[in-house]
Amino acid sequence: MTPPAAVPPAGAVVRLRDRTFGADRPVVMAIVNRTPDSFYAPARYGSGSAAADAVARAADDGADLVDIGGIRAGRGPRVDAAQEAARVLPVIELVRERHPDLLISVDTWRADVARAAGRAGADLINDTWAGHDPRLVEVAAELGLGVVCSHTGGARPRSDPFRVEYPGGVLDDVTATLAASAARAVALGIDPASVLVDPTHDFGKNTWHSLELVRRTEALVALGHPVLMALSRKDFVGESLDLPVDERLEGTLAATAVAAWLGARVFRTHDVRATRRTLDMVATLRGDLAPARAVRGLA
């Protein structure tokens, strides 16, 4: 008889502000964009009050953390730092006032925006462009915030990949980059449990690269920091299934379940309720979380 496969190791503990998340509480990061042109239309909020209302819905649906962005990741009209800050800071202030226990992330690669966001109440800086502004991680350390270390293969902000190659393999490039970035953050004084590592699917990568990084989640977990997966409705899901962005939920949840089983800890999502339920089920299957109730065959 073949012995059962071992459950992969649980990912690292996540600690942000005064909250700690163990394996029994996978972290759901809700996406709220104060942009008119984000690739997924339902996540666009034209005013600060609309964005704050979206945050309230996300919290009700089970989000632990909300990621507020003021500029589209891909190509689009120029948005300077002042305009980006004007979009995100009022939302951060509203959320901190209305939801004092909810964790807040700001999605920016600009150190000046990050500093203003931290002073307004953000807990985490989500640097999706891999230290393009090297001062950003210094701001996180200065203000006592967490930081996301990402990988873009050297791509500049708001650029799209074209015939990207990793001669030594995408996994080796990603793990080496993330290990170095995380080490710098820790050396600056940031708690290792507040340093999230993100392989950054689609950024500087083709679909084959992104699929490989989901399969090899365990190698990312082995870096010893919480792994963040930003998989939601991305192009690698759409290309895998030949589906437009508004039909990519099931594919996203499948990738989410695989990455969670393999130890990823934080999931950035447009679909909070579905992601919360998927992650809780995976945690229960892994044995990290007890069933909410278990009466079948017992009563």
- Residue 299 belongs to some domain of the structure: no
Q: Which of 115, 184, 233, 234 is catalytic?
A: 234
pTM of the model: 0.94
Angle, vertex CA 174, rays to CA 148 and CA 71, nearest 5: 45
Give the Cα separation of 222 and 216 in Å (integer): 10
Look over the chain and give the mean of its residue pLDDT values, rounded to a whole number.
Answer: 94
Q: How confident is the model at residue 46 (pLDDT cuts 50, 70, 90)?
A: confident
Q: For residue range 148-175, what is the model confidence (pLDDT) as tens digits?
A: 999 999 888 878 888 999 999 999 999 9
* 68 strand-pairing partners: 32, 106
Q: How confident is the model at residue 2 (pLDDT cuts 50, 70, 90)?
A: low
Q: For residue range 62-90, what is the model confidence (pLDDT) as tens digits?
A: 999 999 999 888 787 889 999 999 999 99
- Residue 294 belongs to some domain of the structure: no
The predicted pLDDT at position 251 comes to 98
Q: Report the domain count for the chain.
A: 1
Angle, helices 48-61 vs 272-286, to 10°: value is 30
The one-letter amino acid code at 240 reads S
How is residue 266 written in tokens?
Answer: 């934080």
Q: How confident is the model at residue 1 (pLDDT cuts 50, 70, 90)?
A: very low
Q: For residue range 185-237, what is the model confidence (pLDDT) as tens digits?
A: 999 999 999 999 999 999 999 999 999 999 999 999 999 999 999 999 999 99
**What burial letters (b/e) apply to 208-245, b meaning 16+ CB within 10 Å?**
ebbbbbbebbbbbbebebbbbbbbbbbbbbbbbeeeeb
Q: Is-catalytic flag, 215?
A: no
Give the Cα separation of 238 and 222 in Å (integer): 28
The predicted pLDDT at position 43 comes to 84
Q: Which of 44, 115, 248, 268 is catalytic?
A: 268
Q: Is 9 left (phi over 0), alpha (psi -120 to 50) or beta?
A: beta
- Residue 2 belongs to some domain of the structure: no
The predicted pLDDT at position 74 comes to 77
**What burial letters (b/e) apply to 29-51, b meaning 16+ CB within 10 Å?**
bbbbbbbeebbbeebbbeebeeb
Q: For residue range 102-121, what is the model confidence (pLDDT) as tens digits?
A: 999 999 999 999 999 999 99
Q: Is-catalytic flag, 96?
A: no
The one-letter amino acid code at 137 reads V
- Residue 118 belongs to some domain of the structure: yes
Q: Is 200 exposed, middle or buried (0-12, 13-18, 19+ CB in 10 A)?
A: buried
Give the Cα separation of 148 and 126 in Å (integer): 5
The predicted pLDDT at position 4 comes to 60
What residues make up the domain containing 62?
14-286
- Residue 295 belongs to some domain of the structure: no
- Residue 3 belongs to some domain of the structure: no
- Residue 273 belongs to some domain of the structure: yes
- Residue 124 belongs to some domain of the structure: yes
We report the CATH number of the domain holding residue 270 as 3.20.20.20
How is residue 17 written in tokens?
Answer: 């502000």
Token pair 């030949």 in the structure block, residue: 242
